[in-house]
Amino acid sequence: MHDPDRLRLSFVTSGTPQANAAADALRARYGDTASEHADVIVALGGDGLMLQTLHSAMARDTPVYGMNFGSVGFMMNGYEPDTLRQRIASAKPTHIYPLAMSVLDARGATHEALALNEVSLFRSSYQAAKIEILVDGEPRLDELVCDGVLVATPAGSTAYNLSAHGPILPINSPLLALTPISPFRPRRWRGAILSNHAAVTFRIREGEKRPVSAVADNVEFRNIREVHVREDRDKRVTLLFDPGTSLEERVLLEQFRY
């Protein structure tokens, strides 16, 4: 990391009065640089803001240091305005590689998006979705009848994936979690753990009768027919954590909660 006194910081907030007031005080104290020229982006909010900030910072891989002003803050550090530059200079980096999602919709149009947490498919009507699953081009599940299914990164494995009873993955593991959402058939299928080199394809059956949407983090496409998901190692984001509070440690601790 750079000399603490020379760090150029850019501040973003979730827009709450508390976060905005803190950002104003920090800008007056430490200055404020446009994000495209900053050494570090400081995000004041919760995990939703962190996810948005990481997406915007991905093209330049500008490190992001978060301070919690949200409800959960799993990806954030505690708020402490003093010695901010020194804290950032001593922070430990965690790298996350996104999932690349390619979607074919009912009109034959293709769409692409990136996901840092997960790519999810959801039924869009009262009827369950019917989805065929292929891994590296090989059919692995002929028909999953379900509310949906998702592919999660290690960073996203503690988010919606965990709520859907998927496995927690160590943050630096070369793995992906493939997890069904309320599966009806096969009733006992609980998903799979895949290599991060795996290419996953979802084919929608009876799409007109049983419409399905696909979501990459917060980007949604409706009435889809096929979805391809793979990890994109050409892109990454960098989170900064105070020593002893790394994302790796937080993911480990999450596995011992009861």
Local confidence band at 254 (pLDDT 50, 70, 90 cut-offs): confident
> Is residue 246 over pLDDT 80?
no
Sign of CA dihedral 1, 51, 148, 229: negative
**Residue pair 131/144 in contact by the 8 Å Cβ criterion:** yes
The superfamily in CATH containing domain 99-231 is Probable inorganic polyphosphate/atp-NAD kinase; domain 2 (2.60.200.30)
pTM of model > 0.85: yes
Q: Is 5 a catalytic residue?
A: no
Binding site membership for NAD(+): which residues? 47-48, 117-118, 147, 155, 158-163
Over residues 206-232, mean pLDDT? 97
**Domain extent listing, the chain:** 4-96+236-254, 99-231
* Edge-to-edge order in the sheet of strand 237-241: 9-13, 40-45, 64-68, 237-241, 92-96
Segment 153-176, tens digit of pLDDT: 999 998 899 999 999 998 889 999
Catalytic residue among 3, 5, 47, 234: 47
Q: Show binding-site residues.
A: 47-48, 117-118, 147, 155, 158-163
The CATH number that domain 4-96+236-254 falls under is: 3.40.50.10330
Q: Which of 141, 209, 210 is nearest to 179 (CA)?
A: 141
**pLDDT higher at 170 or 133:** 133
The mean pLDDT of 98-107, rounded to a whole number, is 97
Q: Tens digits of per-residue pLDDT, 69-79?
A: 977 778 899 99
Q: Give 185-251 as a DSSP string.
A: BSTT---EEEETT--EEEEEESTTTS-EEEEETTEEE-SEEEEEEEE-TT--EEEEE-TT--HHHHH
